[in-house]
């Protein structure tokens, strides 16, 4: 059975829920693949990979926050037209 979701018709809350659902389904699919055991064996029991991914995520969050601040500044100055929710 196939279906389609019209993303442009979703509210922000619905879009966030849909994104979370897609992420969970994708993660489950990957965890069930035969390669999951290989990856687990490669990574071992150390926290090194988890720590590295967490550090990357924190650093990337800083980049995203800076990019958002630049976007807000461009909108506020009028350099970039944008519509805001009322």
What pLDDT digit, counting tens, does each position of 48-67 carry?
989 999 999 999 999 999 99
Residues 16, 35 within the same domain? yes
What is the residue range of 54's domain? 46-80
Return d(Cα 47, Cα 55) in angstroms, integer: 12
Residues in the chain predicted with pLDDT less than 70, given as ranges, are 1, 86
Q: What is residue 86's predicted lDDT score, i.e. its pLDDT? A: 60
Return d(Cα 6, Cα 50) in angstroms, integer: 35
What's the number of domains the chain is made of? 2
Return d(Cα 13, Cα 58) in angstroms, integer: 24
Residue 1 lies in a domain: no
Q: What is residue 33's predicted lDDT score, i.e. its pLDDT? A: 76
Residue 18 lies in a domain: yes
């Amino acid at each position: 059975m196939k279906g389609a979701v019209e993303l442009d018709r979703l509210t922000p809350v619905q879009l966030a829920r849909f994104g979370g659902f897609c992420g969970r389904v994708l993660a489950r699919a990957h965890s069930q693949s035969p390669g999951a055991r290989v990856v687990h064996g490669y990574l071992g029991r150390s926290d090194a990979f988890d720590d590295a991914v967490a550090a990357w995520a924190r650093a990337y969050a800083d980049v995203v926050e800076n990019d958002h601040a630049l976007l807000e500044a461009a909108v506020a100055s009028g350099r970039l037209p944008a519509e805001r929710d009322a």
